[in-house]
């Protein structure tokens, strides 16, 4: 396979590997604007070292400072688009799978500007067999209430 600028961009934005490049190397090459002809197999050792270094830095920034078991921080990082797709998207996919498995009846009320599903608080409360007030109280305790209030109205599902 011949790597092109378009295939590199597409793979980097979707968090996927490309030919002989790992997903992290693909993202690093795209971020650094490495010319595609420099990425052909066999990869030069100095290019491989550069890409691996940039990938390790991204991993340190993504995972750094998060305590073991701090799922809230990890989920927040997964939704933070400043981090690379190859790190964020697998976590988001796992969250989607979990929602579908454990709450199959819960359907999005709409989608945000990035195309991510948005759920109605009343529907979440019903799925969890709790009240909206209790969910709001929980959000306030976690410092998420302002985020809920600032979230723009979703694009409705018809």
Q: What is the pTM of this model?
A: 0.77
Higher pLDDT, 6 or 135: 6
Under the banding of pLDDT at 50, 70 and 90, the label for residue 147 is: low
CA distance 92 to 87: 9
- Could you tell me the residue ranges of all domains in the chain? 1-102, 109-158
Q: Are strands 155-156 and 110-111 parallel, antiparallel or unpaired?
A: antiparallel
Q: Is the pLDDT of residue 155 over 80?
A: no
- Tell me if 58 sits within 8 A of 24, measured CB to CB: yes
The pLDDT of residue 113 is 77
């Amino acid at each position: 396979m011949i790597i092109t600028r378009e295939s590199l961009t597409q793979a980097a934005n979707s968090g996927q590997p490309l030919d002989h490049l790992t997903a992290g190397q693909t993202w690093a090459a795209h971020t650094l604007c490495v010319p595609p002809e420099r990425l052909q197999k066999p990869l030069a050792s100095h290019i491989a070292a550069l890409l691996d270094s940039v990938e390790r830095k991204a991993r340190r920034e993504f995972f750094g400072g998060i305590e073991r078991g701090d799922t809230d921080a990890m989920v927040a990082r997964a939704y933070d688009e400043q981090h690379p797709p190859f790190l964020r998207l697998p976590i988001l996919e796992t969250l989607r799978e979990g929602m579908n498995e454990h709450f199959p009846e819960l359907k999005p009320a709409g989608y945000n500007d990035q195309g991510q599903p948005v759920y109605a608080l009343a529907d979440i409360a019903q799925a969890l067999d709790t009240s909206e007030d209790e969910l709001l109280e929980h959000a306030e305790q976690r410092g998420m209430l302002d985020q809920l209030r600032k979230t723009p109205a979703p694009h409705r599902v018809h």
